């Protein structure tokens, strides 16, 4: 099963569009809060933000699908 089909069949039917947007915005807010608290994170390359964002998304979806 491709990732697009998996997303369409398993996740999208359970999440509404507003749920999806709220999840993404909360991850962005969490990342900005970490940057504000830890000034050394300003020097971290942008790819690390992408990796952390991706890992958080995967863990959230895994927890949601386990229900």
pTM for the whole thing?
0.40
Per-position pLDDT tens, the chain of length 67? 566 666 666 666 677 777 778 778 888 888 788 777 877 766 767 777 788 888 888 887 777 777 6
At 44 the pLDDT is 67
**Domain spans in the chain, listed from the N-terminal domain onward:** 3-66
Query: Alpha carbon of 33 to those of 18, 29, 48, 52: distances in Å?
Result: 22, 6, 15, 14
At 59 the pLDDT is 81
């Amino acid at each position: 099963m491709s990732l697009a089909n998996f997303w369409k069949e398993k996740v999208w039917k359970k999440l509404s569009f507003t749920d999806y947007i709220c999840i993404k915005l909360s991850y962005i807010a969490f990342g900005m809060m970490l940057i504000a608290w830890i000034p050394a994170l300003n020097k971290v390359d942008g790819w690390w933000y992408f990796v952390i964002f991706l890992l958080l998304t995967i863990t959230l979806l895994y927890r949601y699908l386990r229900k």
